[in-house]
Structure 1
Amino acid sequence: MNEMYEMSQSLHIYSVIALIFVLVIMILVHKFSADFKAFTKRIQILMIFHISFASAVVLTGTIMMAVKHLSLTPANLIMILSIFAIATLEIKRNKALTRVTKFQLMSKMNYIKLGYKYQSIELAILIAVGAFSRMASALSF
């Protein structure tokens, strides 16, 4: 049982690192985009990786909570709330992309600014939660 927890924990950490890496790439794509058609192609490809790694984070997190008999610590609660916040921001960003590409209800530059803002917030949430969980695990006895 302990081996499963350790394996799940390492997969969880690597998934979070990969998610941060994908977010940094997405922020760079938002920042340095010239052609909007190429930009949307790149973002749609990166969204697949983003969703896959976010799903891996959720899956490994639930496995770790199940192994620990659903013990809800403050660090776990903050991680759960942060993944809901990240999912909400991703849904909003995806809806905005649909408004731009299909319905042209939003200008392309406004979407790029909005996407950049949402991706930056997601990155800040991930880094803050990672720092808090490290601090909480160092202080736990």
Structure 2
Amino acid sequence: MNEMYDMSIVTHYYGVIGILVVIGLNAYMLLNAKELLSYKRQMTLFTPIGSTAIGTIIFTGVIMMAAKHLDFTIENILMILFALIIIVLEVKRAKTLKYLNSKADGALDGFKKFGMKIFLYEVLVVLSISIWMWL
């Protein structure tokens, strides 16, 4: 049981690093996007990677909670809440991108501002819980 818990902690840690890398790659792709249609196509392929990273963090957290006999501490409750916040932010970003009019002038520029704000919030959420857990 201890081995499973220790492995989950390591996997959870790398999952958090992975989600930060995915957010960084998303921001990089958004900043370098020149046309909206090609960016939408890229996001259609790349969004499942971000969802998998979020799923990895949630799955390893569930394994750790099971290993601790479902002990709901304040840290666990906050991590669940923060995971839900990240999921909601990603859904808002993806939904806005999906319904963005490709023919409108300046649509990509407006979305760049919105998307970068979402990515900033996601990084702040991930870093805030990570720093709190390290202390």
Do structure 1's residue 113 and structure 2's residue 113 form an aligned pair? yes
1:1-141 to structure 2, matched below 5 A, reads 1-100=1-100, 107-135=107-135
Q: Is the 8 A contact 2:82 2:125 kept in 1?
A: yes
Once structures 1 and 2 are overlaid, which stretch shifts more, 78-87 or 66-75? 66-75
- Using the size of structure 1 for normalisation, the TM-score is 0.86
> How far apart are the structure 1 equivalents of 2:66 and 2:55?
16
Aligned amino acid, residue 95 of structure 2: K
- Using the size of structure 2 for normalisation, the TM-score is 0.89
> How far apart are the structure 2 equivalents of 1:43 and 1:120?
18
Aligned-residue CA RMSD in angstroms? 1.9
5+ residue gaps, structure 1: 136-141
Q: Is the 8 A contact 2:27 2:119 kept in 1?
A: yes
Give, in angstroms, the shift of residue 109 of structure 1.
2.3
Query: Taking every aligned residue pair, what percent have the same amino acid on both sides?
Result: 28
Secondary structure at the residue paired with 1:69? Answer: coil
> How far apart are the structure 2 equivalents of 1:73 and 1:103?
49
> How far apart are the structure 2 equivalents of 1:101 and 1:129?
36
5+ residue gaps, structure 2: none
Secondary structure at the residue paired with 1:34? Answer: coil
Structure 1 moving runs of 4+ over 3 Å: 101-104
